[in-house]
Structure 1
Amino acid sequence: MSKTVEFYFDLGSPATYLAYTQLPKICERTGSQLTYIPILLGGVFKATGNASPATVPAKGRYMFQDLDRYARRYGVPLKFNPHFPINTLMLMRAVTGIQLRHPERFAAFIDCLFKALWVDGRSLDEPATVAAVLTENGFDPNEVLALTTDEQVKAALKDNTEKAVQRGVFGAPSMFIDNQLFFGQDRLDFVLEALS
């Protein structure tokens, strides 16, 4: 019986970006399913009293050096976003909305946003930049914006975030296999082990 990885993610986390580049390969290799669950990392931090490692200057400097090491190991591009940290509320509502209303476009949607943030270093805090990125990738910015104000979409993101905290999530990326939590892109070897 194939296992499932429940991947709790927020676009604003560079560690989550790295996990996102590796999890599909891991799941393909092990014949496992990958389920994407968008959450609001700011909401998780608020509920758990956690904070970004970047709020501690020495830890933040180390974190980005370490993430760069992992990007080289994985053979994927990673650029420190000069606009970090990014307020992802609207982005994660958009992600949730696309997942709910246009699941066939979900992969392409998160691909273009992860790339804009962690490869191209674009400022997705700015509505004009978000609109440009969406247009460049074949999405209608007005349609996506409408999703971010949809009450069902807003409630779904809030619900995902609350349920994540109830399950023990305190940051991103967080992955569950059979109700066992694995936190951080540097724990993917344990994810692979649990799936094998």
Structure 2
Amino acid sequence: MTDSIDAFYWIHSDWAYFGGPRLKAMGERHGLKVNHRPVDLATVYARTGGIKLPYRSAERKNYRLLEMKRFREILGMPINLEPKYFCVTGHLPSWFVIAAEELGHEVADLSQAIMRAIWVEDRDAEDPATLVSIGDEMGLDGTKILKAAQDPRTELTYMKYTNEAIERGVFGAPFYFFRGEAFWGQDRLDMLDRTISKALGS
């Protein structure tokens, strides 16, 4: 079996946004394909005991904002702490990424562009017109991808990824896997990198 990195994430995840560029660079550096697996985080939480952000304690919410500020500075990546369009389902933009991949496109940059639209540009990624525009901006056929995204079979793939994530022990986002070993959160990417380097001798 050819080695790869499986990345399970919620398309609205601030932490997936922060980790996206480093994940892509890591895959390229090690010559590994990154399998993008957008999931329905609400379902993951419901089945693994997670708590949605609006229902967390003030202490947890405040610490999350502190960490966002820290990583914004450390990584040099802009982010709005309170984006205009957030805490929605993430279904359609997830389907859009899945459809693009099934049409044969590399989706690392597309996925990151969608997350940047949410976290930096205050664009509504749940709006079909926004997704078409993002696709077109990436040099893709956004209309064609949207049509494929709205095919019921794409939703089935989305739920397949979600169920697979839970079966493999995912309880948050993002989660990365290499040779069956799990790494939770973009702040574990260095650990993932060391594990890959040791395994591949690179």
Q: TM-score range by the shorter chain?
A: 0.7 to 0.9
Q: 1:92 and 2:94 equivalent?
A: yes
Task: State the SS of the aligned residue for 1:171.
Answer: coil
Count of residue pairs the alignment pairs up: 195
Cα displacement (A) at 1:52: 3.2
Tell me which residue corresponds to 1:106: 107
* Counterpart residue type for residue 99 of structure 2: G
Distance 2:123 2:26 in 1: 28
Kindly state the Cα deviation for residue 187 of structure 1 after the two structures are TM-superposed.
Answer: 1.3
- Aligned partner of 1:16: which letter? A
Cα displacement (A) at 1:192: 1.6
Q: TM-score, normalised by structure 2?
A: 0.83
Equivalent runs, 1:1-150 vs 2, <5 Å? 3-56=3-56, 57-80=58-81, 81-101=83-103, 103-104=104-105, 106-150=107-151
Distance 1:134 1:156 in 2: 20
Q: Quick check: 9-18 or 113-122, which moved more? A: 113-122
* 1:14 partner letter: D
> SS of the residue aligned with 2:177?
strand
Letter in structure 1 aligned against 2:93: L
Q: Deviation string for 1:100-128 (max 9, x for gaps)? A: 12x22534422321221122122223444
SS of residue in 2 equivalent to 1:104: coil
| Comparing 164-173 and 136-145, the one that deviates more | 136-145
**Using the alignment, how far apart are the partners of 2:59 and 2:135 within structure 1?**
35
Q: CA deviation at 1:53?
A: 4.1
Q: Is the 8 A contact 1:32 1:195 kept in 2?
A: no
Question: Normalised by the size of structure 1, how large is the TM-score?
Answer: 0.85
Q: Which amino acid in 1 is paired with 2:18?
A: L
Q: Over aligned residues, Cα RMSD in angstroms?
A: 2.4
Q: Distance in 2 between matches of 1:10 and 1:193?
A: 24
Describe the shift of the 1:5–1:130 C-alpha distance in structure 2 as closer, same or farther (beyond 3 A): closer
Query: Which amino acid counterpart does residue 13 of structure 1 have in structure 2?
Result: S
CA-CA distance at 1:27 after TM superposition: 2.9
C-alpha separation in 2, matches of 1:113 and 1:20: 11
Q: Deviations over 1:18-63 (max 9, x none)?
A: 1112112223344444222222222212222312345323312221
Check 1:71–1:6 CA distance in 2 against 1; reply closer, same or farther (3 A cut): same
Among the aligned pairs, what percent are the same residue? 25
Conserved in 2, the CA contact under 8 Å of 1:2 and 1:33?
no
Structure 1, 184-193 or 51-60: larger mean CA deviation: 51-60
| Structure 1: gaps of 5 or more residues | none
